[in-house]
Structures are given as C-alpha cells and as structure tokens.
C-alpha cells in the first residue's frame, strides 16, 4: 500500500476503535438511559438545546475565526473604523430573545409534568440521615413497610485492600422496591441536615430538608435496578449514601410486600425477654458496626478533634441513663444523631451494653430494652 493509503487505513480503524471505545459505559457522554417518561422528555430537551447551542456557537465563532485569519495586520489588512450600528444591535437583541422563547415553551411543559404529583398509586416517605436513607411506605400496596438503606460496599474496597465490585459505592443493603408502571409519589424529609434524593434514570431529584416535607414522583416504565446518589453535601459521608431502587413486575412486588411483612413480624424482638450480657454484646457489636463505626471507629478511639472516643469516655463508663439519653436523642448541633428514631429499644440497649463492655471499658453492666424504652419521650 502507498503511504497515503496506509495512513488512511490507520486513521479510520483508529477512529472506529476510538468510537466503539467511546460507546462503552466508561466514557459516558450523555445522561443515563431514561426509565420514565419524564426522564425521556428531559433527555430529549437537553439534546435539542445542545443542537441549538452548537449551531449558535459554531456560527458565531466561524465568523470570529474568519476574522482572525482574514483581518490580520500581518496580512496587510487595514482597520475599518466603524464602531456602531443601531439596526444590527436591535437584530442581535431580538433574535436571541425569540430563540429563548422557543426554548422556554417545551421547558415549561416538561417542568409542569415533573411537578404533578397528583393521584399516586403508592406514597413512600424518604428520610435523609447522616449517612443513609430511610424508607417508609405510607400509602398503597406495601403500606406499613419501613426500613433503612445504607451503603453495602465493604470498607476494604474503599480503602483499596480489596478489589472493587461492579456496583462500587452504588449498592445498598435494602433497596427501595416498587412495582413497574405505577405512579410512585416520593415525600422527602431529613433527620439532621439537607440531603437530596436523586435517581438519574428517573429524571428526579428532590432535596430532603429537616423539618420540612417535599415531594416528587416517578412512574418506572421498565423493570430493573436503578442507582443514584445523595445530591446535597451533608457531611463527611455525603459520597457514601447511594440510592438504589428495584423496580419489579406487579406480581413479584406483591410477593416482596408479603415477605417484608413476615420478616418484620419475625424480627420484632420479644419486649419481655431478659437479655444476658453476652447476648447483648454480640448483638451490640453488629449494631455498632452498622451505625457507629464511621465516626467512633472500630477501636472506639474516635477521631481527635471531630468525634469523641468511647473507649475510656466518662459518658460510657458513668451513669447509664446519661448514655441512653445521648444515644436516643443525639447531641443537637453536632453529627451525633438521635438514634432513637432509627433503632429499636433492643438495638440501642445492645449497642450501649457493647460499648460499656469493650476495649478498655469493663463496667460489667447489661442494659435491658425496657430501660431504653422508659427513657423515650
């Protein structure tokens, strides 16, 4: 082959290889594939806007680059001296204005559709916590189901001592489960600071504001697992509280609802049971690992200047009632949440007993769930 042919062959195969590489999920150029009609409308609207922008950008800067080449002093071009023209100013004020009106019309329609939360099939309350989500099914099929959803990616993957899984940072222990094709109304609120519940494939994002309730909605048009993240800086683990929604066919959803109801009944701890210290410590260790370790560390040493140590702390080795109060009600103005809202009496009793009998702490004290219950306001 001639040099020219060889070059052409290389260039086109390079382009093709590059293009197919670009098509992979790794180099994603555009929004995620829509799974709701709203998301599709937003996706299309963005594409149309990009087309208009591209035309204007190329048009204006083609003119400028022509000038850059043709009107150079080094080419001998003499400067004209015109410096105003009212007609032209009016034209390039009015024409952009008209283009904006053409953009505003579809934008208005999509927004109105995005905000219409009326007549939902199922209503679910989403609560943002530092740093996980809580889901409460309020109305519709599944009513009464309630659980927390926290990041499931193991710490060692984050620290780099284990290989990262496919859904690194986008996997949770208990995803939100909804049926396909039904209108789901999502109420958002928060327990502590502002979070934001976002699922890109659904095209929705709604801030979760402590003390206030907002809403949004979606109707998933296909089954599958859809992943999003918290979208408002909420403290150190803002990047570690993903949103995962599993959309099931109607019959599988009903089966899941039944299953959840059975599990909740089975897991409910017997309120009258008296726990031994060993049982409490074993249970408490699990609760600690899921809720406390992020700040107070597995060693109980905390982080100097930010999160207090529990090992040797006055509160943990002093009167029980104070520690029970702190865990139930949190410490306002700090990151110590009111775990009374998230954990059962048994879980709180267990984790307190664990802290009082671990590391260097040897109080020998057990805490019974009834003691925690009596301190709830």
Q: What angle do CA 235, 214, 201 make, to 5 degrees?
A: 75
Among 303, 312, 322, 374, binds another protein (CB under 8 A): 303
Beta pairing class for 122-129 and 184-190: parallel
Mutual angle of helices 345-356 and 277-291, in 10-degree steps: 100
- Is residue 314 a contact point for another protein (CB under 8 A)? no
Peptide bond into 131 cis (omega under 30): yes
31-39, 272-280, 318-326, 367-375 -> range binding another protein (CB under 8 A): 31-39
- Is residue 338 a contact point for another protein (CB under 8 A)? no
CB of 9 to another protein, least distance (A): 27
Q: By C-beta, is 2 or 161 nearer to another protein?
A: 161
- Is residue 93 a contact point for another protein (CB under 8 A)? yes
Beta bridge partners of 175: none
C-alpha distances in angstroms, 317 versus 294, 304, 343, 354?
Answer: 21, 19, 22, 12
Residue 271 makes CB contacts below 8 A (sequence gap 6+) with: 345, 369, 370, 373
- Is residue 8 a contact point for another protein (CB under 8 A)? no
19-27, 266-274, 310-318, 353-361 -> range binding another protein (CB under 8 A): 19-27
Distance CA 117, CA 215 (A): 7
Sheet architecture: strand order including 243-248: 176-179, 243-248, 224-228
Among 236, 252, 261, 326, binds another protein (CB under 8 A): 236
Among 176, 234, 351, 353, binds another protein (CB under 8 A): 234
Q: By C-beta, is 132 or 227 nearer to another protein?
A: 227
Among 8, 9, 12, 46, binds another protein (CB under 8 A): 46
Long-range contacts of 54-61 (CB under 8 A, 24+ apart): 56/99
42-50, 142-150, 319-327, 367-375 -> range binding another protein (CB under 8 A): 42-50
Beta bridge partners of 217: 185
- Is residue 31 a contact point for another protein (CB under 8 A)? yes
- Is residue 240 a contact point for another protein (CB under 8 A)? yes
Q: How many residues touch another protein (CB under 8 A)? A: 102
- Is residue 328 a contact point for another protein (CB under 8 A)? no
CB of 132 to another protein, least distance (A): 15
**For another protein, what does the binding mask look like between residues 113 and 152, x meaning CB under 8 A?**
-xx-------------------------------------
C-alpha distances in angstroms, 319 versus 274, 282, 326, 367?
Answer: 20, 22, 12, 12
Q: By C-beta, is 193 or 315 nearer to another protein?
A: 193
Are 124 and 185 within 8 A, CB to CB? yes
**Binding to another protein, residues 201-220 (CB under 8 A):** 203-207, 209-212, 214-215
Number of CB atoms found within 10 A of residue 240's CB = 16
């Amino acid at each position: 082959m001639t040099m020219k042919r060889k070059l052409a062959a290389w260039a086109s195969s390079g382009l093709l290889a590059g293009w197919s590489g670009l098509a992979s999920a790794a180099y994603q150029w555009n929004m995620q594939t829509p799974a709701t009609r709203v998301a599709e409308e937003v996706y299309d609207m963005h594409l149309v806007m990009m087309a208009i922008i591209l035309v204007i950008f190329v048009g204006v800067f083609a003119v400028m680059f022509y000038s850059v080449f043709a009107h150079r002093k080094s080419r001998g071009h003499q400067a004209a001296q015109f410096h105003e023209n009212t007609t032209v100013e009016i034209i390039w004020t009015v024409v952009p204005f008209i283009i904006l009106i053409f953009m505003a019309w579809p934008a208005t329609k999509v927004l109105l559709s995005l905000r219409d939360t009326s007549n939902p099939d199922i209503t679910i309350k989403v609560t943002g916590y530092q740093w996980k989500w809580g889901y409460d099914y309020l109305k519709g099929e599944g009513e009464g189901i309630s659980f927390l959803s926290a990041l499931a990616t193991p710490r060692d993957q984050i620290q780099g001592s284990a290989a990262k899984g496919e859904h690194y940072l986008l996997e949770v222990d208990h995803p939100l489960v909804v049926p396909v094709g039904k209108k789901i109304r999502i109420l958002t609120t928060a327990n502590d600071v502002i979070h934001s519940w976002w699922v890109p494939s659904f095209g929705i994002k709604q801030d979760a504001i402590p003390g206030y309730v907002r809403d949004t909605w979606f109707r998933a048009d296909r089954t599958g697992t859809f992943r999003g993240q918290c979208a408002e800086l909420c403290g150190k683990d803002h990047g570690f509280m993903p949103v995962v929604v599993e959309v099931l066919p109607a019959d599988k959803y009903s089966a899941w609802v039944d299953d959840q109801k059975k599990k909740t009944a089975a897991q409910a701890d017997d309120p009258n049971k008296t726990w031994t210290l060993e049982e409490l410590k074993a249970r408490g260790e699990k609760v600690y690992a899921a809720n406390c370790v992020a700040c107070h560390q597995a060693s109980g040493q905390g982080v100097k200047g930010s999160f207090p140590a529990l090992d040797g702390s006055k509160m943990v080795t002093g009167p029980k009632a104070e520690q029970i109060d702190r865990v139930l009600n949190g410490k306002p103005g700090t990151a110590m949440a009111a775990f009374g809202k998230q954990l059962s009496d048994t879980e709180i009793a267990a984790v307190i007993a664990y802290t009082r009998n671990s590391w260097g702490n040897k109080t020998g004290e057990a805490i019974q769930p009834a003691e925690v219950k009596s301190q709830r306001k």
